[in-house]
Amino acid sequence: MTVVTSDQADHLSAWITLLLAFSCGLIVANIYYAQPLIGPISQELGLSAGSAGLLVTMSQIGYGAGLLLIVPLGDLVENRRLVLSVVAVAALALAGAALAADATLFLAAALFIGLGSVAVQILIPYAAHLAPAATRGRAVGNVTTGLMLGVMLARPASSLIAAHASWRLVYVVSAAAMVALALVLRVVLPVRQPAARLSYGRLLASMVELVMTEPALRRRALYQAAMFGSFSLFWTTVPLLLAGPDFHLSQTGIALFALAGVAGAISAPLAGRVADRGWIKPASAAAMLIAAGGFALTRVLPFGSTGSMVLLVIAAIAIDFGVQGNVVLGYRVLFALGAEHRSRLNGLYMTTFFMAGAAGSAIGAFAYAYGGWTLASSIGFALPLLALVYLATE
């Protein structure tokens, strides 16, 4: 059995890269299946329109808690065993969501789905550790491409399954997929034993020190918080817009629309290569402008026309492109700060912006319910611009 210790930098093979990318995509999809299904799930379980965003928000809160409390263990606990344990939590929670008889049970399951899905954020620093420093951005970008594909394919996949069967089948299939993936990872992944010998309490306390002493962490986390908040707002509210009186799209139509976002995944490997060249600040500014421009495009034409649908598709690609590119740029900055606390840095980074994502989903659903797309898109447009203003002070 291959054992990788924390002071080694090994070669990240193409096979392991592919497996890690596929694993990240399959796992992270769990927290996005509900986004296009908030209508049918909330109707069946008795949630009001104003509270429907909780179906997405709860999984993101669970994800945020896992980032803060579980992901840092990647600096302390053998990584393969940690990943398998967390994936098992996801499998059980997905089964619970499939069987939920009321909104309370579904929301509780959603919380643990998010918690179990943080396995991806143990795998990404793992990939960064295996990759040589000169190509670390490229390696992380390639693995993150799988994650981004999972984020974006989850929505059309769940829409298509729900359109032809039931939203519950989405969670049954995903629970089975987690079990199968855990079996593969147990056989294939090399063991990685960190060198740190801290207590769990000291590990968590050290994260406060990292926040206080690493300005790059604070900046990259806040940049991506604004970006990911706008991303979550868009993908929580746009299914409501598309299903409404302006477009009258079915779940199948919404699924096809969501496929457009997949094109944004190309930004992850591109951002990794740009970051390896040292062009992080201008690339970050470009990502923020592209995301804001996506929201602006949605307001150019009145809804209901073919042209407005085309602009919505372009907007979806632009928003995904900007947000996914910016997250990889952040990874590259943080993973250069030191291998010994890479998982803790990642946990803090991801916790910050995923809590912003949870807020974006809730705010977006509320804004759309009471102010329509005009209010929701205005908030989405403002967030990347706030990040850009902050970037200008760097």
Q: What pTM was computed for the model?
A: 0.75
pLDDT digits (tens, 9 = 90+) for 321-361: 999 899 889 988 888 887 777 888 888 888 888 788 878 98
Tally the domains of the chain: 1
pLDDT digits (tens, 9 = 90+) for 171-184: 999 999 999 999 99
3-state DSSP: the chain helix, strand, coil percent, rounded to 5? 85, 0, 15
Element at 3 (helix H, strand E): strand 3-5
Q: Which domain holds residue 146?
A: 3-392
Would you mind telling me the total number of residues written for the chain in this entry? 394
Q: What is the mean pLDDT of residues 50-76?
A: 84
- Cα–Cα dist 371/293, whole Å: 21
In this prediction, residue 5 carries a pLDDT of 47
Residue 136 has pLDDT above 80, yes or no: no
Q: What is the mean pLDDT of residues 73-101?
A: 92
In this prediction, residue 334 carries a pLDDT of 87
Element at 108 (helix H, strand E): helix 103-116
Band the pLDDT of 162: cuts 50, 70, 90. Answer: confident
In this prediction, residue 11 carries a pLDDT of 57
Q: What is the mean pLDDT of residues 157-172?
A: 88
Element at 193 (helix H, strand E): strand 191-193
Tell me the residue type at 219.
Answer: R
Report which of residues 150 and 9 the model is more confident about.
150
Q: Which of 23-32, 91-100, 267-276, 351-360 has the lowest mean pLDDT?
A: 267-276
pLDDT digits (tens, 9 = 90+) for 212-241: 989 999 999 999 999 999 998 998 899 889
CATH number at residue 332: 1.20.1250.20
- Cα–Cα dist 330/20, whole Å: 19
- Cα–Cα dist 16/190, whole Å: 9
- Cα–Cα dist 218/332, whole Å: 14
pLDDT digits (tens, 9 = 90+) for 260-272: 777 777 777 788 7
Band the pLDDT of 30: cuts 50, 70, 90. Answer: very high
In this prediction, residue 12 carries a pLDDT of 61
Query: How many Å separate Cα 238 from the centre of its chain?
Result: 17
- Cα–Cα dist 324/1, whole Å: 35
Tell me the residue type at 129.
Answer: H
What does DSSP assign to residue 102? S
In this prediction, residue 383 carries a pLDDT of 97
Residue 1 has pLDDT above 70, yes or no: no
Contact between residue 59 and residue 107 where contact means Cβ atoms under 8 Å apart: no
